[in-house]
Structure 1
């Protein structure tokens, strides 16, 4: 039996304006935890609930613990409670409420007819000190803290997804990057090997390794300016998947907080470790793949405190695909007061990987590659073994979060990132070199290197304003970022790998200062308006270290300085119409910007950025049962986007090059169903058409024009996980089954060619008894021979003396075959995780 008693603690109050406490509307009792001994005396858990201005529980903290099992049961019930919000006059308030929850012994049969005993609700108003306000009482220290789920802020567009990974973490995934597949319209490809950043396709954009998608980790920007491999290069392979609690994927430039590179959208990984104690996992699988992870969450701390280590190594699924990497991530949350916390986060990572590169389809069919003549050996073969790379990353962040009076909040973050990378790839063989007279081609292997440091500040402030008796959510934010990088590309000899020519060599210093204002209002009960504006400035200073030593006027210093400046204002707005309590119509529009690559700047250039214009409209429907055990969310929208200067992959340089303006027209639909913490299913389907606009045509004719290559028009994805418990030899055994399925439609290639469709299936199963868990995953279950990346261009891989053919042909990088992996996981110091 459960007996709640409310004791209010209001942040502040004014004697002139009466404060009405929150009133419980729904307060279903918690369920007695399973597998606990019969109670002989009452067990009490003291919860502190944070109730927002709608009366919903946005946070749960345990102030006095009765053991993890009872804490979890009390929290699970509290997250389903609903209240009429507290009010100061007619203005709803965000308040905190202390709730003792008592689990009592079962009533004996002789007393079964007695009425259940319940304590009265005691609502205590803050005392008046005579000065017009009441002092903030200081809460007692925590004996243990377990954080409940936070209520996500309202979306700025139909394509604004706050994704909780939850059970879908059971679906096989190689890295944290694969979690992006939980957002509709996302496709990943990798021609560079395990350790190279993924190529990301989103919303009809070939975003490369990050040029059109803003990437963040706990708010720290990951896109790297003027990277040798591509402007905006963002490697998320270093993120430990076990530590990713949720991610926000905002498709389109609709949120004023979105900054540089937010063309197709923004991705923000949020870290956290819900499971307390030590979790050690070891895996071994096909192609000698080995994986060892160790994560630890101190039992007395929140899920924001953790340490994680991840080691990976393997031979790869074919020649020249070996890899090895290691990473560490750690974070601690310190409470500096009742409403202030400080988060310290750090990460360190190093990787080395080999790459097979691309092969010509005709050479595979004719068995000309230097491998065995059978079809599989040829499919996974390569030309140039001198391909691969290495990278290092070190990251540190300090974040201060303080809750202010009247619902305000202040967040201040400082960060620093040190990054180094070198990669070698050969896309054309022996074609690009202009050798000295009488000498043969020296080869097109391209070495791209990058070394840089990023430091910056981010902050946002929500003052908690009210107007006309209604709260007016207003947010002010800023970002200040400085990058100092050295970026270089050189050609390497086929024999020995020595560099023989420099393509570019730049020392780049970039400053990005941005600020934004966003607000939300509800002029009518059924209408909510959101809007804001963001202002960004870009200042570039470039030292070109690859100028000629002489020109027409004589000898000169082989260096030159370039400076450029840009200023851009981007308004963004959305209108939400509540058609029914469950059905919402949301329309959004906004402008965005992508800064320019320093390699393409001219001296004194103004406005070095690409302009993005985008609009979206669609519907969202959600349902949750009264008990909160089941939920269904469905969304769908159509969108259109224009970019003033787009980029497309060029095989001659091995990086993206400008192609002028482009446009997109597309639509998506997605649904997620969750039932009783047992079944979690998500499915999505997206279509997009990307074209180069016809010169002089109306800007409304978004379907006309030449199709941009390499971008799939249809993408489908299904993720499903089923969990349960069975009994084996009178022992409870937890189990789970998971499925991931990707369907990728044909991609247009240059010269009016199309790739083949791709259908991939991944499955996983695991069983757990007490602290030991065994699992098996199978990726590419049907062992399909699929092409992860496909191109169509001219190349010469037959040798330096062979005549080059001018006929374009298809090239591809092979996707992984069926891969099986077994995993042993041991859970230590965990009282609550019973199957």
Structure 2
């Protein structure tokens, strides 16, 4: 570790530890009242988190349970990922579109380098019409999410494509405690209805749920987001020997609220909630059928998941206005229809080696995407002006992985593994020169060393290699779709290498803390641009940082969370443009207080800080920082009736969800456009009142 990195980490850790110590001093009287309360605290921590000493292979790995998810408000389903410490979830163009994600110095765009799964099904869409790794979580019904298991880094053999920064696996509950009917209302014509229940059936359990929602938002052109989602799930068997079959369906449509130029607002030509092109918008659908089974015996465990997904997207967006086409404007239509099939099987064997406990796991993951049409059109007010590109893509992959866990003694455990991934890209383009087939392969070793526990404290050392795939169209490109200029094919699979050292402790009664210092190198920051239909050249990168996460039980009904993260992101190759990576988040903080079962009362307060980011390589243009707070207050009217009030942007802060810096052109401006800040404002303070009835 270089002195420069160590000094930077020390400077970052010092204020974090000061903040933590201040919080603990303030809360310590409640924690120290009696030993019995401390014992209760330990149980309650595990009720919201399954991150105890001895449960993970890295300090940055953990599990969030439904008990915590149920108590916190969320403006959008995608914000479920903010339960992963250090993750920021925002939006830049309509609630029906996939969110923007940030973690560990990455602007992850719509999901690249963060892998997300729901019930074993990959959510990241590779070779997507809008963006590589596109992760749209709007199909989720948050009340049905049972657990969120998260990992960060390249150290896990069972995680493959898109997982270099991290991965989250969400599982749907097999049943609900009781049937519920929920009706929520709020400002801007927000309306949501949900019915969910489960019942015994044929020796198993049948779960069903239906959600309908509408929201206009604060935008001058009402967003008119409409959501229809349903889940039907049958499960049977015991916890360690069971199976489930799940059908999910989702449809969404909306008018977009795309980012706008700052100069138009400063000149009073526009208001923050206006749109340059009010015809932007989209519609999407997702249908899936999945099967999952686990079988446990004395010698091992077998697990298998198989899935079939059908998804559709039509998206209209105009981000440069009249820069390329001063007559019709720059709106583009991105369209895709996808059929995805896949499976994930793994076998674990438990045994001993020279008297030491040992387990071996081997797994095979396969996926095939058939995408047709996959198209980009120039449009004006959603009317097609010309075709930029049309393709049919078939992309198949298989990943074989293995890991070995060996308990050398009471204080030393190792996990050594590796995976091998093979990809096949098959592109049929309307531009003959851009058609072709490409094969690619990559091997990724992994290692974790766990020391302890000593005094309820354990230490971790992790290292490994990972990768992310590039858009299939970029692997066969020879002419740019718009200008028809020569282009070089991109590297199909981009190598990443990461390492981490960390500590987790439960030494203080009721407090669970972890700290991790990490580093990640990527061979290339190049990503396919769905807006342009081609790839922009980029350089290799290095990111490093420190994370401090804390969960503290003050007493049996009060939980505090404090998560702090600092990261540094730079290109590794020198260029006159500069060494900063645009959009790379540096500082993130989250503070939460959760109250549960305080008589008829429960609720939560959540404050999130999103630090400033460089917007161009020389760091001469930066976004502002932002802080936003949510509040939920719930009251049980009776055993079956509950009333909740959610307040979003509690302090009504005038902040931005996201900022960009690039050239655009408004009517009357020079042909070359104007370099300017473009922003999407956060929604002002809003209220949602929810009435829930049990049956």
Any conservation in 2 of the 1:746–1:754 contact (CA below 8 Å)? yes
User: Is the aligned partner of 1:529 residue 2:414?
Assistant: yes
Q: What's the offset of the Cα at 1:534? A: 0.5
Aligned partners of 2:453 and 2:56: how far apart in 1? 16
Any conservation in 2 of the 1:428–1:652 contact (CA below 8 Å)? no
Any conservation in 2 of the 1:479–1:515 contact (CA below 8 Å)? yes
Residue in structure 2 matched with residue 353 of structure 1 by the alignment = 254
Residue in structure 2 matched with residue 412 of structure 1 by the alignment = 304
Residue in structure 1 matched with residue 604 of structure 2 by the alignment = 738
Q: What's the offset of the Cα at 1:228? A: 1.1
Query: Of residues 482, 490, 494 in structure 1, which corresponds to 2:368?
Result: 482
- Please list the CA deviations of residues 473-502 of structure 1 after superposition, one character each: whole Å capped at 9, or x if unmatched: 1111111111101254434343x5322233
Any conservation in 2 of the 1:595–1:610 contact (CA below 8 Å)? yes
- Please list the CA deviations of residues 646-665 of structure 1 after superposition, one character each: whole Å capped at 9, or x if unmatched: 14696973997441211101
Aligned partners of 2:505 and 2:596: how far apart in 1? 26
> How many residues are matched?
636
Does the C-alpha gap of structure 1 residues 150 and 586 become closer, same or farther in structure 2, counting only changes over 3 Å? closer
User: Is the aligned partner of 1:563 residue 2:448?
Assistant: no
Q: What's the offset of the Cα at 1:396? A: 0.8
Choose 578-587 or 653-662, whichever is displaced more: 653-662
Aligned partners of 2:228 and 2:203: how far apart in 1? 26
Any conservation in 2 of the 1:490–1:500 contact (CA below 8 Å)? no
Residue in structure 2 matched with residue 520 of structure 1 by the alignment = 405
Does the C-alpha gap of structure 1 residues 256 and 639 become closer, same or farther in structure 2, counting only changes over 3 Å? same
Q: What's the offset of the Cα at 1:449? A: 0.9
Aligned partners of 2:383 and 2:519: how far apart in 1? 47
Query: Of residues 104, 114, 120 in structure 2, which corresponds to 1:213?
Result: 114
Aligned partners of 1:624 and 1:273: how far apart in 2? 35
Aligned partners of 1:706 and 1:560: how far apart in 2? 32
Any conservation in 1 of the 2:59–2:516 contact (CA below 8 Å)? yes
Query: Of residues 277, 280, 291 in structure 2, which corresponds to 1:384?
Result: 277
C-alpha RMSD of the superposition: 2.8
- Please list the CA deviations of residues 746-802 of structure 1 after superposition, one character each: whole Å capped at 9, or x if unmatched: 111125111111011111101102211111111001111111111111111226xx5
Q: What's the offset of the Cα at 1:387? A: 0.4
Residue in structure 1 matched with residue 465 of structure 2 by the alignment = 591
Q: Which runs of 5+ in 2 are unaligned?
A: 1-38, 44-48, 479-488
Larger radius of gyration: 1
Q: Secondary structure of 1:170's match? A: coil
Does the C-alpha gap of structure 1 residues 475 and 382 become closer, same or farther in structure 2, counting only changes over 3 Å? same
Does the C-alpha gap of structure 1 residues 209 and 400 become closer, same or farther in structure 2, counting only changes over 3 Å? same
What is the TM-score when the length of structure 1 is the normalising length? Answer: 0.72
Does the C-alpha gap of structure 1 residues 633 and 771 become closer, same or farther in structure 2, counting only changes over 3 Å? same
Query: Of residues 795, 810, 824 in structure 1, which corresponds to 2:664?
Result: 795
Does the C-alpha gap of structure 1 residues 149 and 305 become closer, same or farther in structure 2, counting only changes over 3 Å? farther
Q: What's the offset of the Cα at 1:469? A: 2.7
Q: What's the offset of the Cα at 1:366? A: 1.0
| Correspondence 1:250-649 to 2 at 5 A | 250-272=151-173, 275-298=176-199, 306-320=207-221, 321-335=223-237, 340-369=241-270, 378-406=271-299, 408-433=300-325, 441-486=327-372, 488-494=374-380, 496-545=381-430, 547=431, 561-578=435-452, 580-602=454-476, 608-622=492-506, 631-647=510-526
Q: What's the offset of the Cα at 1:176? A: 3.4
Any conservation in 2 of the 1:226–1:487 contact (CA below 8 Å)? no
Any conservation in 1 of the 2:144–2:173 contact (CA below 8 Å)? yes
User: Is the aligned partner of 1:177 residue 2:78?
Assistant: yes
Q: What's the offset of the Cα at 1:339? A: 6.3
Q: Secondary structure of 2:422's match? A: strand
Residue in structure 1 matched with residue 26 of structure 2 by the alignment = none
Aligned partners of 2:240 and 2:608: how far apart in 1? 44
Residue in structure 2 matched with residue 665 of structure 1 by the alignment = 544
Q: Which runs of 5+ in 1 are unaligned?
A: 1-75, 81-147, 370-377, 434-439, 548-557, 626-630, 697-703, 727-733, 829-835
Residue in structure 1 matched with residue 36 of structure 2 by the alignment = none
- Please list the CA deviations of residues 514-543 of structure 1 after superposition, one character each: whole Å capped at 9, or x if unmatched: 111111112232111111001100011110
Q: Secondary structure of 1:181's match? A: helix
Q: Secondary structure of 1:461's match? A: strand
Query: Of residues 810, 815, 819 in structure 1, which corresponds to 2:682?
Result: 815
Residue in structure 2 matched with residue 825 of structure 1 by the alignment = 692
The structure carrying a bigger helix percent of its residues is: 2
Does the C-alpha gap of structure 1 residues 418 and 246 become closer, same or farther in structure 2, counting only changes over 3 Å? same
Q: Secondary structure of 2:506's match? A: strand
Any conservation in 2 of the 1:206–1:648 contact (CA below 8 Å)? no
User: Is the aligned partner of 1:759 residue 2:627?
Assistant: yes
- Please list the CA deviations of residues 673-726 of structure 1 after superposition, one character each: whole Å capped at 9, or x if unmatched: 236652222110111111111349xxxxxxx97111112210101122112444
